[in-house]
Amino acid sequence: MKLATLLTPEQIVLDMSSESHWEAIVELVDHLVGIGRLDAALREELLEALKKREEQVSTGIGYGVAIPHAFSEKVEKVAAVFGRSHEGIDFEALDNAPVHFVVLFIVPKKDYHLHLQTLAAIAKMFTNCEVRERLAVAEDRGEIQQILAGRAPKSTA
């Protein structure tokens, strides 16, 4: 499943304020709650699930990208959010580089296979240096969504 199919423009945070790994996860979960994509009553339970996942191994996959994710029996469909940090976040990434792009998603437990497909698609997309460069300079949510969908014009430089 393509990331762009999981995101609306309101599910994109252009400039995250978080400086640490955990703050970033809380910021993005709170964003999903704030826009009504996650039930506020599930906030603590979902944060706990994300924390347990992060304690296994950091979801900072390298290339300035982190993909925190968790499962829940209480969500009906995938809830996703994309966050960008110009300053970079210490995510304890595998390559020790600061993270500039965070893709957080919560998957219904019944859709485990979807989780694997989504992780693979996101990881593959972000290994492309040009995609990361274009996301770094995108000026608005619509442009980011177009890049994630693979529809934005490529740079001519």
Q: Hey, is 78 helix, strand or coil?
A: coil
Minimum mean pLDDT among 62-66, 108-112, 130-134, 136-140: which range?
Answer: 108-112
CB distance 54 to 87 below 8 Å: no
Q: Per residue in 80-120, pLDDT tens? A: 999 999 999 999 888 999 999 999 999 998 888 877 888 88
The label of the residue with tokens 């979960």 reads 29
**Alpha helix (H) residue ranges in the chain:** 21-34, 43-56, 112-126, 129-137, 141-149
**What pLDDT score does 25 carry?**
97
Q: Per residue in 136-149, pLDDT tens? A: 999 999 999 999 98
- Considering the four listed CATH numbers 3.40.930.10, 3.90.1150.10, 3.40.50.300, 3.40.50.12780, the one that applies to the domain covering 3-149 is 3.40.930.10
Asked if the model's pLDDT at residue 68 lies above 90, the reply is: yes
Catalytic residue set? 69
Q: Per residue in 16-51, pLDDT tens? A: 999 999 999 999 999 999 999 999 999 999 999 999
pTM here is 0.92
Kindly give, in sequence order, each residue whose CB lies less than 8 Å from that of residue 58, ignoring residues fewer than 6 positions away: 21, 66, 91, 92, 93, 94
